[in-house]
Structure 1
Amino acid sequence: MTTAPPLVGVAHGSRDPRSAATVAELMDVVRARHPELDVRTAFLDLSAPRLRDVLGGVTSAVVVPLLLGHAYHARVDVPGEVARSGRPGVLVTDVLGPAVEAAALDRLAAVAGPLDDPALGVVLAGVGSSHAPANAVVAAAAAEWRDRFGWAGARAAFATAEPSVTDAIAQLRAAGARRIAVAQWVLAPGLLPDRIARAAAAAGAVVGEPLGAHPAVADLVVARYRETLARERVRWRAG
Structure 2
Amino acid sequence: MNRPVLLVIAHGSRDPRHAATVHALVRAVAEQDLSPGLRVETAFLDFNVPSVPAVLERLAAEGVREVVALPLLLTRAFHAKADIPAVLREAPASLRVRQAEVLGPSPLLLAAVERRLYEAGLTPADKGSTGVVLASAGSSDPEAIAAIAETARELRRTGWCAVRPAFASASLPRTEDAVRALRADGVRRVAVAPYVIAPGRLPDRIAEGAAGADVLADVLGPSPELARLLVERYDEALGAERRPVARIA
Q: TM-score, normalised by structure 1?
A: 0.92
Percent identity over paired residues: 44
Match of 2:39?
38
Structure 1 residue 156 and structure 2 residue 150: aligned?
no
**Measured at CA, do residues 9 and 180 of structure 1 come closer, stay the same or move farther in structure 2, by a change above 3 Å?**
same
Match of 1:120?
130
Structure 1 portions without partners, runs of 5+: none
Structure 1 residue 211 and structure 2 residue 210: aligned?
no
Aligned length: 232
Candidates 69, 72, 81, aligned match of 1:66: 72
Higher normalized helix content (fraction of residues)? 1
Structure 2 SS opposite 1:62: strand
Q: Is the 8 A contact 2:196 2:220 kept in 1?
A: yes
**Measured at CA, do residues 6 and 150 of structure 1 come closer, stay the same or move farther in structure 2, by a change above 3 Å?**
closer
Q: Is the 8 A contact 1:8 1:61 kept in 2?
A: yes
Candidates 104, 112, 115, aligned match of 1:97: 104
| Map 1:76-87 → 2, pairs under 5 A | 76-87=82-93
Structure 2 portions without partners, runs of 5+: 60-64, 245-249
Q: Is the 8 A contact 2:110 2:155 kept in 1?
A: no
RMSD across aligned C-alpha pairs, in angstroms? 1.8
Q: Is the 8 A contact 1:7 1:63 kept in 2?
A: yes
CA–CA distance in structure 1, aligned partners of residues 48 and 160 of structure 2: 41
**Measured at CA, do residues 218 and 150 of structure 1 come closer, stay the same or move farther in structure 2, by a change above 3 Å?**
closer
Structure 1 SS opposite 2:158: helix
CA–CA distance in structure 1, aligned partners of residues 29 and 160 of structure 2: 34
Q: Is the 8 A contact 1:111 1:181 kept in 2?
A: no
What amino acid is the match of 2:39? D
Structure 1 SS opposite 2:90: helix
Q: Cα deviations across residues 48-95 of structure 1 (Å, max 9, x unaligned)?
A: 101111111233211111100100000011111100124450111000
Residue 132 of structure 1: how far off its partner (Å): 1.6
